[in-house]
Structures are given as C-alpha cells and as structure tokens.
C-alpha cells in the first residue's frame, strides 16, 4: 500500500494532468508566433474574437446558470476587493523610486493585483471545481475590471496630471469599461438567472458554440500575446524590476486572500469556504495579459509589464498546481 508521500505525489500528478492542457495551449500560441506559424498581424483578430464574441458568451452562460445569490455575494466582493486594494498599495509603496515613476508603479501594481481570470481562470477553475465555482469567479472579475483597473489607471496619472488628470483617467477608464462586453454579458446572464428566463433553443445553441470556443482560443491567444510582447522588447532589464512583482502576484496575492478570507470567517462573515477556495485559486493565476495593452495606451514601460506577465505565466504552471494540491 503506498505511503502518505507517495499518495501526495500521485495527487500532485493528477492535478498537473488537469492543468497541463491549459498551459500547453498557452505554449502552443507562444510557439506559433515565435516560429512565424501565426502572423503577428493576426493576434488582434484573435483578441477581438475572444473579447467580443467567445468570452462574453461564456460569461453569459455562467451567469445565467448561477443562482443570483452567488452573483451578489457581498462577502466575496468585500474580501476580494480589500485584498486587491492592499496589493495595489503594497506594490506601489515597494516599487516607487527614481527609476520607476507613478505611471510605471501604478501599472506594476495593476499587473500584481489583476489575475488572468477571464482568459484563463474561468475555464481552468470550471474544470477543476465544477460549475459551482462560476459565481465567486464572476464576482472577482467584476472587482478587477471595475475597481482595480480604474484605481490603478487613476494612480498612474498622479505624477503627470495631478487630481485633474486622475479624475480624467477615471472617467476614461469607466468609458472603456462601458465599452467592454464582458461586464454587460455578466449583467445579462444575471438578469436571465434572476428572472428565470429561457431563451429560444437556436439562440442558446449559438451562444453555446461561441462559449465552447472561448477556452482554447483564449489560452492560445495568451501565448501569442506573450510572444509578441517578448519580440517587441528590446535589450535586457534588471531582474529586480520585474521578477519581484511577478512573485508578489503568484505568492503574496493568494496568501493575502487566504489570510483575509479566514479572518473574515473567524469574525463571523458569511463567507462560504468553497467560495474562499475559488478566490484563492483566482489569486494564484498569472497576471492578466491585457494589462500590457493598457500600459501601452497610457505611456508606461510596456516591456517591463510584458516581462512580469511572461514570468508569472511561466511560473504559474507549478505554483498554481501546487496551490490546488495544497487547498485540496
């Protein structure tokens, strides 16, 4: 009969077998661009398909199939939001220097606090934890898209435009969020769940086909975006400028969510332990790949942000799998 250590290794191998295909698709996208099998010019098209068609359909389907009480879980929202604010504050405080100004520190904070939940987390956690995970995961997406992103964009303007620049940045960020179909797909799915509506079968099947395409195309696109970012990065950079931020994302963020969540439960907050597990695994995800696009738009050091995303994505294959094994 195998001993405890052998059982632990078997459990770890089982988890790696589940997570491997997801990271393998990221690697496929990366190699496709690096080997010129996929033209760099095709990446925006993949991004558009995922952002405007496949992923909204996936989020809508999850929202429509999730009880409304899970989508309006104030405990999940509050704990996750508090952790995001702490991550932003800690990263800003530790990175602001004569080499890294407010703009770059703010986007470093965003990449440390914003997991790749939409493109990677939703399909990965659904496979690992089942449909029940969709509620907490959707809540974390709302926090990151509406609050964390807007806050960091506003902070990025402090050094260049003062309070007026920060207000304008917040307004622009909110306008960008309003044009993002993902929050609206979540809202539409929540309304369908609340009103217990049943769309016509042809509509449901069309949405289902697009939703099923979201996972493989999104993961492949992550790899393609990372390869493009690396190809556009010129010259080496000090490891101290990007490795510590990547480690904060993969280690500090999940530990913070785990600690805050258990503290909230101890204080009497109605936080479901399963929802807390989902939140911790969301925090274990690598940095969101779209932060590099935001940093480019606002004039930050996109090469630094791309390196953070690349390092966090590469290391997360091991750190995420280890977290799943530990939490189970």
Q: What is the distance between the alpha carbons of residues 149 and 171, in angstroms, rounded to a whole number?
A: 12
Q: In this prediction, what percent of the chain has a pLDDT beyond 90?
A: 37
Q: Of 96-110, 265-279, 284-298, where does mean pLDDT reach its minimum?
A: 284-298
**Tens digits of per-residue pLDDT, 115-154?**
999 878 888 898 888 888 888 998 999 899 888 988 888 8
Q: What proportion of the chain, given as a percentage, has pLDDT over 70?
A: 88
Per-residue model confidence (pLDDT) at position 205:
94
Q: What distance in Å separates the CA atoms of residue 211 and residue 213, rounded to the nearest whole number?
A: 5
Are the CB atoms for 213 and 61 separated by under 8 Å?
no
Query: What is the pLDDT confidence band of residue 83, given thresholds at 50, 70 and 90?
Result: very high
Give dist(CA 84, CA 105) in Å, integer: 15
Residue 25 lies in a domain: no
Q: How far apart are CA 280 and CA 223, in angstroms?
A: 24
CATH of the domain at 172: 1.20.1530.20
DSSP string for residues in 114-133:
-B-IIIIIHHHHHHHH-GGG
287: β partners: 115
Q: Is residue 14 part of a domain?
A: no
Report if residue 29 sits inside a domain: no
Q: In whole angstroms, what is the distance from residue 101 CA to residue 217 CA?
A: 35
Kindly state whether residue 28 falls inside one of the protein's structural domains: no
Contact, 250 vs 319, CB < 8 A?
yes
Q: What is the pLDDT of residue 126?
A: 85
Mean pLDDT of 1-22: 69
Using pLDDT thresholds of 50, 70 and 90, give the confidence band for residue 79.
very high
Predicted pLDDT of residue 91 = 95
Name the residue among 136, 92, 94 with its Cα closest to residue 271. Answer: 136
Question: Helix (H, G, I), strand (E, B), or coil: what is residue 145?
Answer: helix
Note whether residue 17 is domain-resident. Answer: no
Residue 34 lies in a domain: no
The model's pLDDT over 29-60, given as tens digits with 9 standing for 90+, comes to 999 999 999 999 998 898 889 888 988 898 88
Q: Strand, helix or coil at 287?
A: strand
Q: How many domains does the chain have?
A: 1
For residue 266, pLDDT beyond 90: yes
pLDDT digits (tens, 9 = 90+) for 152-184: 888 887 765 555 555 666 666 666 666 678 778
Q: Which of 117-131, 239-253, 277-291 has the lowest mean pLDDT?
A: 117-131
Residue 232 lies in a domain: yes
With respect to residue 6, please indicate whether it lies within any of the assigned structural domains: no
Domain residues for the domain of 263 are 41-327
């Amino acid at each position: 009969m195998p001993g405890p250590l052998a059982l632990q290794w078997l459990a770890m191998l089982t988890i790696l077998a589940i997570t491997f295909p997801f990271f393998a698709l990221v690697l496929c996208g990366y190699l496709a661009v690096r080997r010129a099998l996929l033209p760099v010019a095709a990446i925006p098209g993949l991004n558009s398909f995922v952002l405007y068609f496949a992923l909204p359909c996936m989020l809508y389907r999850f929202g429509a199939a999730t009880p409304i009480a899970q989508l309006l879980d104030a405990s999940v929202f509050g704990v996750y939001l508090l952790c995001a604010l702490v991550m932003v504050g800690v990263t800003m405080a530790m990175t602001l220097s004569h080499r890294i100004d407010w703009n770059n520190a703010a986007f470093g904070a965003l990449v440390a606090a914003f997991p790749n939940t939409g493109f990677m987390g939703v399909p990965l956690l659904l496979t690992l934890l089942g449909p029940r995970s969709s509620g907490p995961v959707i809540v974390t997406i709302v926090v990151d898209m509406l609050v964390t992103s807007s806050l960091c964009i506003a902070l990025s303007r402090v050094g260049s435009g003062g309070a007026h620049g920060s207000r304008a940045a917040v307004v622009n960020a909110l306008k960008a969020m309003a044009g993002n179909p993902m929050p609206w797909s979540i809202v539409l799915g929540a309304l369908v769940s609340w009103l217990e509506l049943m769309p016509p079968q042809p509509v449901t099947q069309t949405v289902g086909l697009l939703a099923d395409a979201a996972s493989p195309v999104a993961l492949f696109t992550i790899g393609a975006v990372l390869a493009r970012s690396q190809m556009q990065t010129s010259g080496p950079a000090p490891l101290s400028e990007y490795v510590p931020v990547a480690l904060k994302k993969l280690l500090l963020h999940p530990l913070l969510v785990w600690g805050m969540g258990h503290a909230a439960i101890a204080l009497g907050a109605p936080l479901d332990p399963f929802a807390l597990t989902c939140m911790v695994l969301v925090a274990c995800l690598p940095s969101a790949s779209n932060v590099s696009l935001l940093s480019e738009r606002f004039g930050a050091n996109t090469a630094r942000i791309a390196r953070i995303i690349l390092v966090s994505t590469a290391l997360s294959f091991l750190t995420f799998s280890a977290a799943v094994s530990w939490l189970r």
